[in-house]
Structure 1
């Protein structure tokens, strides 16, 4: 499936470049390479680019990949330590305190 998406995206990019050339310079690259807009090969390329555009519409609805920085921060996992010394070990002190109470 990933290969199909990459091929579709490549064809959409080719189509976008072709439309940019048409808009800026009135030059149809596909027609120039394949011998005119009405030749069978040019029409095939235009059709494949159009189908690829439809396939790429699915990219709009794909969930974005979550990265580590996009994850919400769990307040219990924050490290409040300082750079100058060791962190205070609350668990060890609690154990020592409990032992002293016995």
Structure 2
């Protein structure tokens, strides 16, 4: 069983940009209600798509450099990285089916 990994400003390059598989990064914060709503959905996707995609969580408040670098303004923001590049951006909490519709073409 694979659960989402935690990334920080310090580990972002190694864990996300240099990953061989696509990585969906969840930019979240403790105070963000929609972030808490989407968390179980991301855990399901991490489990079901194990080996095809990695789900990473980055705490927006504790790691200000990475969100600033990628222009993340609203939470939750999900950025899908493939070969070190952002290929999709999803802003706001979305249902699982909507997330998979955006993610699956990149797997």
TM-score tier (shorter): under 0.3
The structure number with the bigger radius of gyration is 1
TM-score normalised by L of structure 2:
0.23
TM-score normalised by L of structure 1:
0.24
Q: Which structure carries more relative contact order (alpha carbon 8 Å, separation 6+)? A: 2
Q: Which has the higher strand share?
A: 2
